Chains A and B, each alone.
Chain A
Amino acid sequence: AQSVTQLDSHVSVSEGTPVLLRCNYSSSYSPSLFWYVQHPNKGLQLLLKYTSAATLVKGINGFEAEFKKSETSFHLTKPSAHMSDAAEYFCVVSAGGISGGSYIPTFGRGTSLIVHP
């Protein structure tokens, strides 16, 4: 079984300030973890992914995330928010293994990032 919890439904920041979007997961297997962004009326776009390589993952548009197994977390950060970052962000877990698991992705409920000028 696997699940994802996005701890904040909304995050509001000022332009130029840091962004932190929190994600905790649970999984019976070694997970792959993803962050997707969804702009209004546009398709979901992959920001970054963790697949058992480096625990600090860098993505597009200056975003990065750190996989912390001991905390079962995969928080998304960006040093300086831009107005164009305003969107919905989804944390996703996909897990399976030789002894089970389906690799069907499970999405979190999403965090809406609001950026103020």
Chain B
Amino acid sequence: GAGVSQTPSNKVTEKGKYVELRCDPISGHTALYWYRQSLGQGPEFLIYFQGTGAADDSGLPNDRFFAVRPEGSVSTLKIQRTERGDSAVYLCASSLTRTSGIPSRYGDEQFFGPGTRLTVL
């Protein structure tokens, strides 16, 4: 079946511009995550959706970053007034559900998209 897709694959923009990055999760996956991966680093959590609501946005670096998931499927990460430090690969992942309490046998397995490489000049 289709995996997680992200568009565009590459985005080059100028400092100060606004960008939108899109994520199409696996059909039926209720949980959706956004991460940012800088060169030589592991993915860094940004925001997590359960359904349409942002259940945890503690990883968003500042108020220039915002994400939506209006119908509980596709999500858009929005970055206003981009800065050169925003340059990174932005990863999206989805999972069937989110466990709570004792870890379940599902273990929060996430399926990742290929990422969007954002370059801010």
Contacts and interface: CB of A to CB of B under 8 A. Distances in A.
Contacts, number: 78
A65 B38 CA distance: 27
Contact of B108 (A41, A42, A52, A105): A105
A46 B103 contact: no
Contacts of B104: 51
B86 to A, nearest CB: 19
A31 B101 CA distance: 11
A49 B115 contact: no
Given A52-B102, A90-B43, A110-B42, A43 B108 contact: no
B103 A107 contact: no
Nearest to A53: B105
A43 B102 contact: no
Given A31-B103, A98-B101, A109 B41 contact: yes
B53 interface: no
- Looking at chain B's contact residues, the main secondary structure is loop
A36 B48 CA distance: 19
B115 A43 contact: yes
Interface centre among A46, A103, A108, by most chain B C-beta atoms within 10 angstroms, is: A103
A43 B43 contact: no
Interface residues of A, number: 32
Contact of A103 (B40, B108, B109, B114): B108
Interface in A60-117: 90, 94-98, 102-110
A43 B114 contact: yes
A96 B4 CA distance: 26
B44 A107 contact: yes
Interface string B88-121: 0001010000111111111111111111000000
B56 interface: yes
A89 B3 CA distance: 20
Interface of A: 4, 30-32, 34, 36, 41-46, 49-53, 90, 94-98, 102-110
19 contacts: A32-B99, A32-B107, A34-B107, A36-B112, A43-B91, A44-B43, A44-B91, A49-B107, A49-B109, A51-B106, A53-B105, A90-B42, A90-B43, A102-B58, A104-B59, A105-B108, A107-B42, A109-B40, A109-B41
